[in-house]
Structure formats: structure tokens, C-alpha cells
Amino acid sequence: MSAIRAERVSARRGRGVVVRGNDIDTDQIIPARYMTSIRFAGLEEFVFRDVRFNADGEPKGHPFDDRRFRGASILVVNQNFGCGSSREHAPQALQRWGIQALVAESFAEIFFGNCVALGILAVTAARDDVARLMDAIELDPGQEVTIDLDKQVVAWRGGSAPVKMPDGARKQLLDGSWDAMRTLLEARDATLVRIASLPYATGF
Amino acid sequence: MGRSLLDKVWDLHSVRELPGGQTQLLIGLHLIHEVTSPQGFQMLEDAGLSVLCPERTFATVDHIVPTDLRRRPLRDAQAEEMLQAIEHNTKRHGIQFFPIGSGDQGIVHVIGPELGLTQPGQTIACGDSHTSTHGAFGAIAFGIGTSQVRDVLASQCLALARPKVRRIRVSGKLGFGVYAKDVILHIIRRLGVNGGVGYAYEYAGPVIDRFSMEERMTLCNMSIEGGARVGYVNPDDTTFAYLKGRRFAPKGDAFERAVAWWRGIASDADAEFDDEVEIAGGEISPTVTWGTNPGQAIGVAEKLPRVEELPDGDRSSAEEAYRFMGLVPGRPLAGTPIQVAFIGSCTNGRISDLREAARVARGGKVAAGVRALVVPGSEAVRVEAEREGLHEVFTSAGFEWREAGCSMCLAMNPDKLVGRELCASSSNRNFKGRQGSPTGRTLLMSPAMVAAAALAGRVADVREVMK
Ligand code: SF4
């Protein structure tokens, strides 16, 4: 993992991949048994492992193994995607597999925060719009999908829909301050002053 | 107008407002463990930075430690590598570390309170979603991702949006055989697994007031399963009595001054909340999950819900859950045979949990064909349980008595389900694959209910067993 990079993220374009279903939790995205490494490198190999392969390692026909979706960078999902544990391994695994943006009906909160921290563009859209986008991608996986964060819209061949992202996160991506560490360190001195004002940090 | 505890603690720790509306929030206590910290340290060092406040940072190992043989090097080479990484990182950065065999090791959410590190009015972060546990003390505590672990190591701060506050009052009295675990499973069932998104949950009311600290920890622990990243209980005399004399708690006069300060950070009597919910304690029964998210739960005496009785939005996940679990709508859940029983985790691996489970297990025998495990939440819990002779109650009933760790809560260590085994578990998550087998199945319930299931070999109503 390289050091601080603060790219401005205002739009993503690429081919889409559809993974249907509500409440897809982080244990499905990356099973805990693949978290025993002290590095994130190589996680992409195990993304969605248990829903992609059966116990004998035979592919079960998951979209991530579907040739039509090969090279996709925009993942389209339904409700409450990324619920469950706070493991950042989940967005890390997706990002390392090639996902740069997600469109969902809704995200679990920690998962969403982890996406922002990695510069992954994660937006929500209305249920009907997500359904239209999913159908369009499945019908024509080769087409280009564009998410414009500035205009807050997702566009595909023959369609478009409004998308949303909470203001704070949106601003962070747009102005490149999503890598929080650099921003937070600007107030290093104020932080130390604040700690010294806390009774519990100074023994009451 | 009065202020809530969340508002008070938030303002005390707010370093500045960030462009975009987030707060730069100071973290008063940073707890780290072996799984989510090594990448954070790596990123920190790549950026040429050091830990800003090593004295506000504490470390232990819990997720990957074996609970049988803990001899080094560990049999699992990757687990050994993780242990070495945290030993190296804490030493290099001057962070206090509670290693295996120190008497202080345990699940991070068990040892923080035990050692008196967790205190009212703090902001607490840890790279684990069950950090909400510490809210039991009137702290604002939440789980963070690995990049955020790096942020806290480097800056002792996080960039966060202030959550809204929902007060959940649990009124009346709990029935016989009903525990804190049942209360939180009931709350999640009522408000949904997403009901708490964007909220902090303040738990209040007579039932919560009477709860011990350990019961409050169980309650706050699973706030995250209800979608709320933060859950807390206002500090009171129960809190102060628990803290008194603990290793990192203030001593002597300082303790008295601390109590005065702690009282002051509780929500004011006239505080206003963004939302309020009332739950009748008397309506809660021993609760068991039947599906693959913690909101899919019923009272043990109820029948499994028919899909068409459920709200629209829940039907497809219920159908999917029934397929995965192999359970039949309309039938009772009680009586379903289990193959594994697990007592432990940061939800229910404390001494009071083991006492309740032992009360049920005493003099009984684990049913044939059931593998039953008791895993204390910390080395200190283990020592206390052995002092009370609980380990003998468990072992003579046929339970395995293990060393402290997370164990089968997430099965990153050797304790795992095999194949489609069905596990009665006192942990907090019933997601597919959570307990180590992709097809393994989990029923969440209180430790007493797990013990009852272990003896019966099937899901049983603990109220019948304890009669
Ligand atoms: S016991 Fe389970 S939920 Fe708690 S910290 Fe360990 S793995 Fe996480």
C-alpha cells in the first residue's frame, strides 16, 4: 500500500457488473478466513469467494466469474450492501479486483466510510433506477457506464438517473481530501491542546 | 434545553469543524488488535509518520489466538506472523501491549472495561465493529476501518459526522429467563438491522437502570447489528462502583473528582432526542435468530414467521435465509437439533454470562452428537471462573473449557463449524459463513439458552429447563 495520494475523484467511467441481492455482508465479500494476512495485497483473489465457488472450488456462476463482465469497474448492487463487520478488507478486496465505483440502493455505514477512505466512489440511487441500470448492464455488459459525482448522475446507453452521496463525503472526494490522515494532521497542535484539556487524560 | 451525553462528549472532543460538515473528533482511547492494525502501522510508516499518542493506545491479541494450544510459534504460520507484527509494532511505537499469558489478554472489548481503561465521557475507537460495547460506560465508542486505524495512530483523530440520537427506553421488568441478549435481539427485531443507520442509540429506562455493567455491555455490543455504530448508557452509581479499584481507573481523591465529572456528562433530564422508542420489558421473551441476519429472530415459543406475514422489503431475504438455514416457515424453532454449542465472544463471554450458563449446565450432560465449547472472554474471566469452580461444572457436563479469545465468533482461529453444522451461539452474528464453514449455520441466543440447547441437543426454552 503506497503512501498518501489525494486524487480528486469527480467521475468514474467503465463497464458495469451486477451483483443482485439485499444485505450482502462483508463476510460474503471477503470471508474472515482470508483476513489472516498482515497485508492487503492479494485479497482480490478471494473476493466473494464463498458465493463464487463451492466447497470443491468449482465456480458457481457468480457475476464476478462471468466473462461478459470481465474488466468491469463499476459494481451495481441493491440494499444495505456491505453490512456486517467493519473490515476494510471488503472494499480493499473489491478495489484490488478492479472496482472503482459502486451504485447501490443503500450501503451499510461503516462500509461506505471505508469506501470513501479508499477513494472508491460509492453512490446511491432510487430502487427503480438501480433496477433499470442492472437490467441495462445485463442486457449489454460491454457498454460504458458513467458516474458523474459533480452533477450527481449515472448515465448508461439509453438511460440516466440521479445519484446521491452525503455532502461531506462528496466534498472530500471532489476536493481530494478523502485521504483523511493528511487533513487531520493539519490540526496536530490543536489536538494536543485538546487532549491536555481532558480530565481523564490528565489523571483528573 | 438540555443536552444528550452524545452532544456533550462530542463537543468536548471536537477539535474543529472540517469543510464538508464533518467534525475532527479527538479519540481519547484507541484500542488495537492483531487483525486490523498491521496494515495501519504499515501505511503510517510508509508515510514516514509515528504514533501521535502512544500513551492513549493499548493493544491485545484476540481474533486469531488459538483457544487450545497457545504454544509459540503458533501452528498457523499466518497467525504467528500477525502476533509477531503486533509485538513488533507496539514495541517500536511504545504502546502498552497485553500479550498471551500476561493475565490481561482477552477480547479487546472485554479487557478494556476489565482494566478500567474504558471510562465515562471518553471517545473510544477500535478497528472492530463491536467497539460500541464500551458505550455501556457512557463513552462514545465506535468501530473503524483500517485506514481510520492509521488516521488515529497518526493524528489521534477521526473525521466523522455527528450522528442523531435515538433514545430507546425499556420499561417495566424482564421476565424469568430473559437476559440482556434477549433485550438487544428484540430491539433489533423491532427496529430492523438498518433501523439505527445514522443514529447513536441511547439505552434508558428502568430495565437498563437495573442492569449490571456486564448486561449493559451485552446490550451496547450489538447496537451495530441494529445499524447503529454507537450505543450507550448514561453513567450512574452502577458504573462508578464497577470502575472503582480497577487498574487504570483513577484512585483516591482523583476518583471522587472523576465521579463528579462523569455525572456531569450524562444526558440532562430535559435533553431532547431526534427519536424516541419505548419497549415494554415484559413483552420480551428468550429470543433466538432463525435467519442470516440478526434481525431475523423470534421468541423461542413462537413459530417461524411465514414469508407472506413479513413486511414487503424483508421477504426476499427471508426466503433466501430459509433456504440457507433449511428451516420451515410456520414450524416452531424450538426442538430443532443442533450439532454445536458455543458460549463466548465479546457479547457474552464475561463472568456473569458463564455463571448463568453454568447454572443451566450444572449436573447435566451435553447431548450425544453435540460439540460444546466454553471460551472465556479474557484470561481474567477464565481465572475468576476457575476460582468459582465453573470450569468443573462445564467439563463434567461435557463442555470443552478453553483459553480466552474470539474463537468461534468469527472462526479466524482453529475453532470452526464443519459443513452444514447448526450452532447455538452466544455470539453476535449469524451471517452466512461467519463461524468458519461457508455452509455452517448459526442461531444466536443468550448463553443460558445455548447451555440449555447443548444439554437438550436441540433448541430449548431455558425457562422450562430452569424451572
Ligand atoms: S468476539 Fe467476535 S465480535 Fe467480538 S471482537 Fe471478537 S470477533 Fe469481533
Tens digit of pLDDT at every position of chain B (467 positions): 899 999 999 999 999 998 778 899 999 999 999 998 999 998 898 889 999 999 999 999 999 999 988 889 998 888 899 999 999 999 999 999 999 999 999 999 999 999 999 999 999 999 998 999 999 999 999 999 888 999 999 999 999 999 999 999 999 999 999 999 999 999 999 999 999 999 999 999 999 999 999 999 999 999 999 999 999 999 999 999 999 999 999 999 999 999 999 999 999 999 999 999 999 999 999 999 999 999 999 999 999 999 999 999 899 999 999 999 999 999 999 999 999 999 999 999 999 999 999 999 999 999 999 999 999 999 999 999 999 999 999 999 999 999 999 999 988 888 899 999 999 999 999 999 889 999 999 999 999 999 999 999 999 999 998 87
Q: What is the H or E stretch that residue A171 is in?
A: helix A167-175
Please say whether the beta carbons of A132 and A162 come within 8 A: no
pLDDT at res. A6: 66
Rounded to a whole number, what is the distance in Å from the CA of B387 to chain A's nearest CA?
33
Q: Which residues pair with B101 in a beta bridge?
A: none
pLDDT at res. B279: 98
Please say whether the beta carbons of A166 and A116 come within 8 A: no
Rounded to 5 degrees, φ, ψ at A77 are -135, 175
Please check whether residue B277 touches A, CB under 8 A: no
Pocket test for ligand 1, best of B409, B412, B413, B435 (most atoms within 8 A of CB): B409
Q: Compute the distance between CA of residue A94 and CA of residue A101 in angstroms, rounded to an integer.
A: 10
Task: Indicate the DSSP class of residue A22.
Answer: S
Does B47 contact A87 at a Cβ distance shorter than 8 Å? Answer: no
Length of chain B measured in residues? 467
Rounded to 5 degrees, φ, ψ at B81 are -60, -40
Please say whether the beta carbons of A63 and A141 come within 8 A: no
What pTM did the predictor assign? 0.87
Cell of A153: 448522475
User: Which residue in B has a C-alpha nearest to residue A204's C-alpha?
Assistant: B254
Please say whether the beta carbons of B150 and B12 come within 8 A: no
Q: Which of A89, A55, A34, A24 is nearest to B432 (CA)?
A: A24
Please say whether the beta carbons of B449 and B358 come within 8 A: no
pLDDT at res. A2: 32
Helix intervals (H) in B249-404: 252-265, 315-325, 345-348, 351-361, 379-387, 390-397
pLDDT at res. B126: 97
Cell of B173: 421488568
pLDDT tens per residue across all 204 residues of chain A: 333 446 889 999 999 999 999 999 999 999 988 877 788 888 999 999 999 998 888 999 999 999 999 999 999 999 999 998 778 899 999 999 999 999 999 999 889 988 998 899 999 999 999 999 999 999 999 999 999 999 999 999 999 999 999 988 998 899 888 888 888 999 999 999 999 999 999 999
Q: Quick one: how many helices (H) and strands (E) in chain B?
A: 17, 19
End-to-end CA distance of chain A, in Å?
40
Pocket lining: B346 vs ligand 1, CB cutoff 6 Å: yes
Residue B20 one-letter amino acid: G
Please say whether the beta carbons of A113 and B22 come within 8 A: no
End-to-end CA distance of chain B, in Å?
48
Residue B240 one-letter amino acid: F
Q: Which residues pair with A123 in a beta bridge?
A: A103
3-state secondary structure of B273: coil
Interacting residues of B313 by C-beta distance below 8 A, sequence separation 6+:
A22, A79
Pocket lining: B107 vs ligand 1, CB cutoff 6 Å: yes
Pocket lining: B188 vs ligand 1, CB cutoff 6 Å: no
Q: Treating both helix axes as pointing N-terminal to C-terminal, what angle do B379-387 and B390-397 enclose, rounded to 10 degrees? A: 90
What residues of A are in contact with residue B194 (Cβ under 8 Å)?
A: 79-80, 83, 106
**Looking up cell 428502568, which residue turns up?**
B206
Please say whether the beta carbons of B129 and A110 come within 8 A: yes
User: Which residue in A has a C-alpha nearest to residue B259's C-alpha?
Assistant: A204
Atom of ligand 1 nearest to the CA of B349: 1
**A40-70 b/e (C-beta count within 10 Å ≥ 16 → b):** beebbebbbbbbbbeeeeeeeebbbeeeebe
Pocket lining: B183 vs ligand 1, CB cutoff 6 Å: no
Q: Compute the distance between CA of residue B185 and CA of residue B296 in angstroms, rounded to an integer.
A: 9
Please say whether the beta carbons of B325 and B292 come within 8 A: yes
Interacting residues of A70 by C-beta distance below 8 A, sequence separation 6+:
none
pLDDT at res. A200: 97
Pocket lining: B67 vs ligand 1, CB cutoff 6 Å: no
Cβ-nearest to A203 among B46, B79, B254: B254
Rounded to a whole number, what is the distance in Å from the CA of A184 to chain B's nearest CA?
6
Please say whether the beta carbons of B431 and A23 come within 8 A: no
Residue B400 exposed, middle or buried by CB count within 10 Å (0-12, 13-18, 19+): middle
